[in-house]
Amino acid sequence: MKKIASLLVVSVLGGALTLGSYKLFFEDEMQFQNTSQQNTTESSFVPVSNSSRAYGMNTDFTEAAEKTVHAVVHVKNVAVFKSGPRSIWEYYPYSNNNSGRALQGAGSGVIITPDGYIVTNNHVIDGASEIEVTLNNNKTYKAELVGSDPISDIALIKVDPDEDLEYIPFGNSDNMEIGEWVLAVGNPFNLKSTVTAGIISAKARDLNMRDNSPQSFIQTDAAINPGNSGGALVNINGELIGINTAISSPSGSYIGYAFAVPSNNARKIVEDIMEFGDVQQGILGIRGRSINDDVIRELDLSTSQGVIVAEVTPGSGAERSGLRQMDIIKQIDNIEINKFSDLTGYINSKRPGDEVLVKVVRDGKEKQVNVKLTKLSTYRIPALGLEVANATKEELEAYQAPNGVRINRMLADNLPSADLVGGIIAEINSQKVTSVRDVEEIMQNRPKSNPIVILYYNQKGEKQRMIWR
């Protein structure tokens, strides 16, 4: 009995100490952290939340689920397909049908305004002859495509509802941290209104694992399956912090790795489409390399994190601000730059004309410079050994070309024809190009084993085709 009594006293004292410690430390911390607000752009075309991050020892997902489940819709795409899925993006099921018949694909979408603007993935509505949206209350609407950006895999569609719709406000994805709880809301396998929970596993994830890639995803272990494409990744406040986009799986189903476009990038693309009709891509004006063991040995570096400036683009904001080759970029504004996808992820949330504060290490000393972002005007095609630039109206008329980009210069000396420089590329693999962004999209999405066929106008105005194998 004495032993039992002693154990009881110890247990009571332990519980009292635990409760006292919790109230002393954690409740004060929660109150302090809930007073801080997220940084958001003042001018916004879509609703943005200003609530603070929520913490708690016993996280409750019911409020976030209730706030968001009615604002995630089922998107149906009726299109004509002649092949099955081609890449990691097309992971919602289509039959491998080569007959060219109309097939129906399904994904998800997120209502972002009460009057019916919906953000989804480009691959959900790509090639659609008809888009149908079903709300959580089973109401169905026909949707129109407002605009899309295949490179980021973001699209904006619109329905005309007969009443205000529930929507999810954008949160600040830059403020999210690894280990925070998130919910994935979508329609996997045509099961409407499904909510799964997980944490943020990584940020600025580059699926291609290569430098100079525009990809920068939030990685989560929340279960995402075919049909979740275009759905919402939300924090426990019910704020949109990502658009679920891809899974990494040999089977096509969830195995623990899922990826979302950060909300800051998606929001910027949506607002560009609303205001300008297309994406306004700001560039720093450098070509960079992430730092790894090989680079450290090659250049005898004393740091293992950051991005090395391999080349500064003439006439760019980087050149005008004084950035130099071999500078190591460590920070942009308040964002730590550990690898190239950190840099591209943040810059892709900005527009031409925006200014960013860049912290670099040069000759062992830190230096800060303000860089004004410029518009993407040139693009290198290593597979062709060419650099292309946006063509002016006068250049197109001079070559009698209906559309195209100008071949700016050669990147290699072994090209089959020297009269390419100055010419106009009008098509790549039978796809019309009107800007360097079109070229970037085509080159990134093409099967790497296939030959490249260009239709171009040479300096004499002659239309020719050339094949690279």
Please give, one letter per residue, the 3-state secondary structure of the chain: CHHHHHHHHHHHHHHHHHHHHHHHHHHHHHHHHCCCCCCCCCCCCCCECCCCCCCCCCCCCHHHHHHHHHHEEEEEEEEECCCCCCCCCCCCCCCCCCCCCEEEEEEEEEECCCCCEEEECHHHHCCEEEEEEECCCCCEEEEEEEEEECCCCEEEEECCCCCCCCCCCECCHHHCCCCCEEEEEECHHHCCCEEEEEEEEEEEECCCCCCCCCCCEEEECCCCCCCCCCCEEEECCCCEEEEEEEECCCCCCCCCCEEEEEHHHHHHHHHHHHHHCCCCCEECCEEEEECCHHHHHHHCCCCCCCEEEEEECCCCHHHHHCCCCCCEEEEECCEECCCHHHHHHHHCCCCCCCEEEEEEEECCEEEEEEEECEECCEEEECCCCEEEEECCHHHHHHCCCCCCEEEEEECCCCCCCHHHCCCEEEEECCEECCCHHHHHHHHHHCCCCCCEEEEEECCCCCEEEEEEC
The per-residue pLDDT for range 60-104, each reduced to its tens digit, is 899 999 999 999 999 999 875 544 444 444 433 333 334 445 556
Do 208 and 334 have their domain in common?
Answer: no
Query: Which position has the higher pLDDT, 34 or 345?
Result: 345
pLDDT for position 4: 39
**213-to-226, 317, 442 alpha-carbon distances in Å:** 25, 20, 14
Band (252; pLDDT cuts 50, 70, 90): low
Q: How many domains does the chain have?
A: 3
Active site residues: 123, 153, 229
Q: Is residue 19 part of a domain?
A: no
Do 204 and 235 have their domain in common?
Answer: yes
The per-residue pLDDT for range 129-159, each reduced to its tens digit, is 999 999 999 999 999 999 998 888 999 999 9
Do 294 and 352 have their domain in common?
Answer: yes
Q: Is residue 199 part of a domain?
A: yes
**Phi and psi for 286 in degrees, rounded to 5?**
-135, 160
The answer to whether residue 168 scores a pLDDT higher than 60 is yes
As a whole-number percent, the residues of the chain with pLDDT over 70 amount to 79
Least confident of 41-50, 205-214, 316-325, 425-434: 205-214
Do 429 and 450 have their domain in common?
Answer: yes
pLDDT for position 146: 95
Do 409 and 288 have their domain in common?
Answer: no
Q: Is residue 254 part of a domain?
A: yes
The per-residue pLDDT for range 384-402, each reduced to its tens digit, is 888 888 888 888 888 889 9
**CATH code of the domain in which 452 resides:** 2.30.42.10
Do 364 and 395 have their domain in common?
Answer: no
Residue where one domain finishes, among candidates 331, 346, 375: 375
As a whole-number percent, the residues of the chain with pLDDT over 90 amount to 46
For 384, the domain range is: 379-468
Do 228 and 313 have their domain in common?
Answer: no
Do 435 and 391 have their domain in common?
Answer: yes
Residue where one domain finishes, among candidates 277, 307, 330: 277
Residue where one domain finishes, among candidates 375, 390, 411: 375
**CATH code of the domain in which 184 resides:** 2.40.10.120
Query: Which position has the higher pLDDT, 99 or 346?
Result: 346
Mean pLDDT value of segment 447-466:
86
Q: Is residue 447 part of a domain?
A: yes
The answer to whether residue 263 scores a pLDDT higher than 60 is yes
Do 84 and 178 have their domain in common?
Answer: yes
pLDDT for position 313: 82
Q: Is residue 116 part of a domain?
A: yes
